[in-house]
Structure 1
Amino acid sequence: MLNFSTSLHHHVLKVTLGLVMALVSQVLSAGVVIDGSRQIYPEHRREITVRLTNDDQTAPRLVKAWLDNGGSDQSPETSDVPFSLSPPVFRLDSGKSQVMRLSYTRQPLPADRESVFWLNVLEVPPSANEFDPALEEGNRNQLRFAFRIRTKVFFRPAGLPGTPEGAHEQLRWTLDRNAKEPALVVHNPSAYHVTFNDVALAMGAAPGAKKFAVDSGMVEPRATLRLPVRQALPRVPADAQVDFAYINDFGAFSAPIRAALQR
């Protein structure tokens, strides 16, 4: 049987852990939201705008934004991209929005295909004592976490053949039957990026054919992408198909698409 001091110790520990978890869950709530899951930059535009909103109704955020060319470890100081972003650092008050202006600096980019870059938005919540200097010193110690959001920016040159909505129709699918890591291999001859969602290998043309899930990803223009199958494959029938959806310019999923598997 536990004595009183042991029970009290456990009770205090439980309450303390509860307070810590409450603090962490409160601090971990990100507030900044980007308008749109991707941005399209047509070459003829002088600039595009990106709207950020602080959905946290109780506290402001410090926001720092920059672009990189695909390296997630690139900082604003090490990133080298042909774009300028204004403002790159700002305070975003609770419930308020801020528009950032993204401008192409006219440094050369491929004219026969899209290029992709990444917009980074880093938000840092304030510490309590920044807004209440009267807080006692013992209450000023808090956990603070910075959140970074990365979204794609597609630079789209003028005069590209075809349309982004029709790029999926040009894809060519083949199956690599490597015993250790079978994969669907997709070649994209179009000038546009195609980002996939819910890719699967269907073991036959019938609607109820068994499906094997495949990793998703993005295939670049004039490029090939390997999408590993997530489990060992049995013998693949001659009428095997590929089921997939893609993500459009507005960040929405297309209707399910079935494509032929090339031999």
Structure 2
Amino acid sequence: MRSSVLALLFFACASQAGVIIGGTRFVFAENKKSISVTLKNRSAQTWLISSKISSGSAWPGNDGAVRPVIPFSATPPLFALHGNSENIIRLVGSGAELAQDRETLFMLSIAAIPSGKAPPGSVQMAVRSNLKLFYRPADLPGDPARAYQALGWQRTARGLTVENNTPYFVTLFKLSINGEAIDNPGVVAPFSKRQTPWCQASSRCQLSWQSLNDYGRVMPAVVTSVYTTSQGVSSRVITSASPSR
């Protein structure tokens, strides 16, 4: 029991006072050859940093996507980040072809692994962060920061369908339905419809959701009511939509 408690304490301390990643999401624009991710170690301890890039199919809403060839490499893939220092991971494009009419989502996974031996009676734990990495072709129409405001919702026999007619991925953040928060709502892929099991039992579904812009800023909430008419037709009425600033 004592070891378990210490392990949890170590995890909490490491995630708050250890390695800090300079961003929660990253955009790799088509005209870039590489982008950098900054890491800062605020502790006195040395951490081993391991990074890799994989497909973005782990996020709900993109789990059925065709897994593309990974067109990036993270360098260095493994290095020591000494106490009270900083370093960068460089994401380098390989030139592999991706869709040019929409974004493609990948996962940047960064693990901070404690070096050295654990103190007697304690357990050291690695901390892994899975971050969104978007490949964005040049000259896509529209504003990616406003794409979440254009989502369309409809009732079906299986729940709610959400449609994204923009070329950008929309991250559903702080989504609530009839006042209840939805855990890990995921994303809505570009030019796609996503069927969800949400709001099956109610004839009226009031939704509130936010999203994140390229810099991780939380965007203003949109509130929408979706209901079923006497003819069984789903309707969508926006009751409140705060503009982006």
TM-score (norm 1): 0.72
Partner Cα separation in structure 2 for residue 198 and residue 99 of structure 1: 31
Paired position in structure 2 for 1:156: 136
Partner Cα separation in structure 1 for residue 121 and residue 148 of structure 2: 53
Q: How far did 1:186 drift?
A: 0.5
Answer yes or no: is the 8 Å Cα contact 1:61–1:125 preserved in 2: yes
Listed as ranges, the matches of 1:45-124 within 5 Å are: 45-55=32-42, 57-70=43-56, 81-124=70-113
RMSD over aligned Cα atoms: 2.6
Give the number of equivalent residue pairs: 214
Q: How far did 1:167 drift?
A: 1.3
Aligned match of 1:196 in 172, 178, 182?
172
Partner Cα separation in structure 2 for residue 22 and residue 89 of structure 1: 29
Paired position in structure 1 for 2:191: 222
Q: Which has the higher contact order (CA 8 A, sep 6+)?
A: 2
Paired position in structure 2 for 1:247: 212
Answer yes or no: is the 8 Å Cα contact 1:68–1:80 preserved in 2: no
Answer yes or no: is the 8 Å Cα contact 2:69–2:96 preserved in 1: no
Paired position in structure 1 for 2:203: 235
Answer yes or no: is the 8 Å Cα contact 1:213–1:229 preserved in 2: no
Structure 1: segments with no counterpart, 5+ residues: 1-16, 73-78, 130-138, 203-210
1:24 aligns with 2:7: yes
Partner Cα separation in structure 1 for residue 181 and residue 123 of structure 2: 39
Paired position in structure 2 for 1:258: 223
Partner Cα separation in structure 2 for residue 115 and residue 165 of structure 1: 16
Higher helix share: 1
Percent of aligned pairs sharing the same letter: 28
Q: How far did 1:169 drift?
A: 3.4
Partner Cα separation in structure 1 for residue 72 and residue 109 of structure 2: 13
Partner Cα separation in structure 2 for residue 54 and residue 258 of structure 1: 40
Change (3 A) 1:234 1:170: closer
TM-score (norm 2): 0.77
What letter corresponds to residue 244 of structure 1 in structure 2?
Answer: W
Partner deviation per Cα, 1:168-221 (whole Å, 9 max, x = no partner): 23321102243xxxx32101111000001222345xxxxxxxx45445220010
Structure 2: segments with no counterpart, 5+ residues: 59-67, 227-233, 236-245
Higher strand share: 2
Q: How far did 1:110 drift?
A: 0.2
Partner Cα separation in structure 2 for residue 149 and residue 40 of structure 1: 17
Secondary structure of the structure 1 residue equivalent to 2:51: strand
Partner Cα separation in structure 1 for residue 157 and residue 208 of structure 2: 18
Secondary structure of the structure 2 residue equivalent to 1:128: coil
Answer yes or no: is the 8 Å Cα contact 1:60–1:126 preserved in 2: yes
1:40 aligns with 2:20: no
What letter corresponds to residue 49 of structure 1 in structure 2?
Answer: S
Find the structure with the greater CA-based Rg: 1
Partner deviation per Cα, 1:110-139 (whole Å, 9 max, x = no partner): 00000111111112101238xxxxxxxxx7
Partner deviation per Cα, 1:219-254 (whole Å, 9 max, x = no partner): 010112234337x63433xxx543211121111221
